[in-house]
Amino acid sequence: MSNTRADLIEAARQLFASKGFDNTTMNEIAELSGKGRRTLYTYFKSKSDVFMAVVDQETSRIIDHIEEIMGLEISADEKLKRYILCRLEQVKETVVRNGSLKAAFFRDVLKLEHARRRLDVRELTILRSILQQGLDEGTFDIDNASVVAVTIHYALRGLDLPNIRGQFTALGVPTNRLRQSIFNMIFYGILSQPVVGHGHRPLTEE
């Protein structure tokens, strides 16, 4: 991505986050970026085009952070644990960095199926890879990595909004307890051998 295009997208992101999509003008984007209207229209035909570029950028940020985990030389169970933590944190951080869910910008972003679908596809690929690694290592005991990947993925997706809105905390569930609960629910079902004694031992954060 060229520096000019990146500057335009960043200016738009800041304005959409603070003012919302409807209240932001192309003139304001051009002014904040310091590039001018002519340059802005060279890269984007409309405000909607700029908006989509912002959404793609924010989606890419989440994907980039998640994909870093795939390059780590660690066991599949540790990789899955880090994936879960990273995903929860990055989705929330993306919303926080861009303002409030009350802003029209975020109401629209959450409805943009192309962005959601792109993130879904990449996350499912990563999850399948982690689960397959676990099968190869003998760490996980599952029948179908693809089916389990879909199940875990959509279970985590269901946590996004309440996590972002702080509903778990409001219900007396602190972040560390939420994470531990997620780990236990997932790992109880896929660890192939008991850790100690009879049955599986719940995992706790280190």
What are the pLDDT digits (tens) for 113-127?
667 788 889 999 999
CA distance 74 to 132: 14
Query: Would you place residue 111 in the very low, low, confident or very high pLDDT band (cuts 50, 70, 90)?
Result: low
Higher pLDDT, 173 or 199: 173
Handedness of CA 77, 81, 82, 86 (dihedral sign): positive
Locate CATH 1.10.10.60 in the chain. 1-45
3-state DSSP of the chain? CCHHHHHHHHHHHHHHHHHCCCCCCHHHHHHHHCCCHHHHHHHCCCHHHHHHHHHHHHHHHHHHHHHHHHCCCCCHHHHHHHHHHHHHHHHHHHHHHCCCCCCHHHHHHCCCHHHHHHHHHHHHHHHHHHHHHHHHHCCECCCCHHHHHHHHHHHHHCCHHHHHCCHHHHCCCCHHHHHHHHHHHHHHHHECCCCCCCCCCCCCCC
pLDDT mean over 87-107: 71
Higher pLDDT, 70 or 204: 70
Higher pLDDT, 110 or 152: 152
The answer on pLDDT for 129 being more than 50 is: yes
Locate CATH 1.10.357.10 in the chain. 47-190
Give me the percent of the chain exceeding a pLDDT of 90. Answer: 44
Question: Which phi and psi angles does 140 have, rounded to 5°?
Answer: -105, 145
Fold category of 1-45 in CATH: Arc Repressor Mutant, subunit A (1.10.10)
Q: Model-level pTM?
A: 0.76
CATH number 3.90.550.10 given to 47-190? no
Q: What is the reported pLDDT for 102?
A: 45
Q: What is the pLDDT of residues 48-84, one digit of tens each?
A: 899 889 888 888 898 999 999 998 999 999 999 999 9
Structure tokens at 130: 């982690």
